[in-house]
Structure formats: structure tokens, C-alpha cells
Amino acid sequence: MFVQVICYIIYNNNRQGVVFLDILFLGTGAGIPAKLRNVTSIALKLLEERGAIWLFDAGEATQHQILHTSIKPRRIEKVFITHLHGDHIYGLPGLLASRSFQGGESEVTVYGPKGLKEYITISLSVSQTYLKYPLRFIEIEEGIIFEDEQFIVEAKLLDHGIPSYGYRIIEKDKSGTLLADKLVEAGVQPGPLFRKIKEGESITLEDGRVIVPEEFLGPDQKGRIVTILGDTRYCDNAISLAKDADLLIHEATFSKGEVNLAYDYFHSTTHQAAEVAKQSGSKHLCLTHISSRYDRQAWRELVEEAQEIFSNTDIAEDFKEINIPSK
């Protein structure tokens, strides 16, 4: 079973001109809700690009955790489920229902393993819950499961007791900053022509000069990569999904000395999570899915164990945020 993370990607253009990806953890415990840690859900909040939120997993009490944030359920556009253990899906029927009650009318697409459609359909049917918006299901296999002009989402199977997927969220590269001062010096006035150049279109001025976009745009802005893994043993697909990730969110249900126990229960240790980060070339590792057997004092020890292999490691806590600046 997996932790409830709401990974919350916010495009904020008001923080000194830097665009951040903000990852907000709503739940970080293993298996069942606990006083200090809830179970799993991750939200990508795409405000500027599409005015929408994507959720990754929706364990029990996801909508309760959302009440402590600025997330509006009616903004939820997509839900990606890693696997069908209860701590990842028990909160989804209620959340979908509340979204309808709160005025959500736009379509929601739910991605996940085979069986997810049946679970949601039966839950809504038995409770006689009728949604006021279209609900679409895509039961996934490995590969690219979503792509548009802004993002790619890739899924691969991990090593767990039931089919469990990891997700690689890739932000596509963006064209460079428009060199407005240089354009004005060249005789181009702000307005529609600026937009055409920003979009990569050459323009011809009244005097016959041709303005080529490449000469008036800064270098392309590299997109960021966030990897969110469902429950898993140490495996090659985890490393592949995390390749060069700016942030890897990896479960660490067990401490480094409990390798056999982790294997028996299809989970990972702190050392195994760190090894995935190291082998993949990830820049930052955040441990999550922390068992309630570990108290606050032990959390620091878990981080130190992982840091023996991968130094840039920290540990998730409910409502902790990680900010990834633009490159």
C-alpha cells in the first residue's frame, strides 16, 4: 500500500519572475491513516496553462486533507491512480461525488489499472450517486498515457503484490524569453507582432526587413521532471522512470536493516530508495509512505540512512511543500 501524497504543481509567475513547481504532500503514511500521517494523493495544479488540477491517487480522506489547502475540487481535470490498494482509492468515490455537489461540471478523466472503472462505477451506483459532469475512464498499460503541448505523462509497471504503476511527469521545454527591448530597438512595436515572434513566426516589417524569431528570443527553458512511484520493491523500471528527475518521490516503508521484510511485503527500504535516486541521476529524493512504527525522532534516522547513499534526501510530512524553480 502507498502513501497519500498530493503532489501539487503550481505555476506561479509572481515570485520574483521565477516559475515554480510546488509539490505539496497531503498524506505520507503507510497503509492506514495515522495521527501524524494520512494516506495517498498527489495534485498537479496547472493554473496558468489550463486552469486545472490533476490528482495522483486519492486515498481515504483525500477531500478532508484538501479542505486545508487552496485546492478547489471543481478544478480537478484528471486523476491518475497508481494501484488499487485501498489507501490509494478509498477516497476517490467521495471526492468525485463532492466535486459534483460543489458545482463541478467539466469532464474528469480517470487513469489507472484494470478494475478501476468497475470499482468507481459500482461505488457510485450502489450509493445512488449521480454526477453532474462526464466521467471518463482510461485503464492503462505501460507507455505514454497522456501528451499535449505542455506535458507528457509516462507510466511503467513496478514490482508490487498487485499491478502498481509509477508515473513520470515531463514538462515540455518552453521557448525562450522574448527580448522585448531588442525588438523595440529594431522598430517592432509591442502588440500582435510580439505574439507572433514569441510563437516562432517570422514577420516582415513595412521597410522590408524580416524579423527572425531566433534572433529575438532567449535560450529555450528546459522543462522539469517529477517522478512519483507507487508501492514497489527495488526495480529497474523505477530507475528508468526517475532518470534525470528534478524530484523523485519514492516510498520508504522500511529502514535499511529490514531488507527481507521489505521484499516479503513488496516494499522498499531507505537504502533502496536512495539507490534508485543515485542510479537514475535524480537531483532530489523525498522519502514517503512512512510506517507508523517510526516516530518523529526516527524520521531523522531514516533520512540519514538514505543520505549514506544519496545526499540530497529529505522526508515528506503531511502538508510539506517542495518548490522546484524554473531552469
Neighbours of 280 (CB within 10 A): 21
Helix (H) and strand (E) counts in the chain: 11, 16
Q: Directed axis angle between helix 270-280 and helix 296-307, to 10°?
A: 40
Closest CA to 270 of 300, 241, 242, 236: 300
Q: Is pLDDT of 74 > 80?
A: yes
Q: Is pLDDT of 269 > 70?
A: yes
40-54, 229-243, 247-261, range with the lowest pLDDT = 40-54
Do residues 262 and 227 touch, judged by C-beta distance below 8 A?
Answer: no
Q: Is pLDDT of 52 > 50?
A: yes
> What pLDDT, in 10s, does the model give residues 194-206?
878 777 788 888 7
Residue 176 per-residue DSSP state: P
pLDDT at residue 228, rounded to an integer = 96
pLDDT at residue 17, rounded to an integer = 53
Q: What is the pTM of this model?
A: 0.87
pLDDT at residue 279, rounded to an integer = 98
Q: Is pLDDT of 3 > 70?
A: no
Q: Which residues pair with 251 in a beta bridge?
A: 288
Label each residue of 65-83 as H, E or C. Answer: HHCCCCCCHHHEEEEECCC
Q: Is pLDDT of 290 > 50?
A: yes
Residue 181 known to be catalytic: no
Q: Would you kindly state where each structural domain of the chain is located, as residue ranges?
A: 20-174+221-325, 180-214
> What pLDDT, in 10s, does the model give residues 76-96?
999 999 999 999 999 999 999
Neighbours of 326 (CB within 10 A): 16
Q: Is pLDDT of 13 > 80?
A: no
Q: Is pLDDT of 257 > 50?
A: yes
12-16, 21-25, 104-108, 175-179, range with the lowest pLDDT = 12-16
Neighbours of 220 (CB within 10 A): 12
How far from the centroid of its chain's Cα atoms is residue 265's Cα? 25
Angle at 83 between CA 78 and CA 89, to 5 degrees: 65
pLDDT tier for residue 7 given thresholds of 50, 70 and 90? very low
Distance CA 232, CA 241 (A): 13
In a 10 Å sphere around its CB, with 0-12 CB exposed, 13-18 middle and 19+ buried, how is residue 43 labelled?
Answer: buried
Q: Which of 22, 57, 87, 246 is catalytic?
A: 87
* Architecture of domain 20-174+221-325 in this structure: 4-Layer Sandwich (3.60)
Give the HSE-up count for residue 204: Cα atoms under 13 Å, Cβ half-sphere: 2
118-132, 155-169, 204-218, 230-244, range with the lowest pLDDT = 204-218
The dihedrals phi and psi of 322, each to the nearest 5 degrees, come to -120, 130
pLDDT at residue 187, rounded to an integer = 81
pLDDT at residue 190, rounded to an integer = 82
pLDDT at residue 18, rounded to an integer = 63
Question: In sequence order, what DSSP letters do the residues of 253-292 get, joined into one string?
Answer: -B-TT-HHHHHHTT--BHHHHHHHHHHHT-S-EEEE-B-T
The grid cell for 194 is 510580439
The grid cell for 240 is 528508468
pLDDT mean across residues, the chain: 90
Q: Which residues pair with 225 in a beta bridge?
A: 170
Rounded mean pLDDT, 184-189: 82
Beta pairing, strands 76-80 & 52-58: parallel
pLDDT at residue 280, rounded to an integer = 98
> What pLDDT, in 10s, does the model give residues 121-152?
999 999 999 999 999 999 999 999 999 999 99
Distance CA 176, CA 147 (A): 21
Neighbours of 194 (CB within 10 A): 17
Q: Is pLDDT of 294 > 60?
A: yes
pLDDT at residue 191, rounded to an integer = 79
Residue 10 per-residue DSSP state: -
Rounded mean pLDDT, 259-267: 97
List alpha helices for the chain, DSSP H.
47-50, 62-66, 86-89, 92-101, 116-126, 180-185, 192-198, 236-241, 259-264, 270-280, 296-307
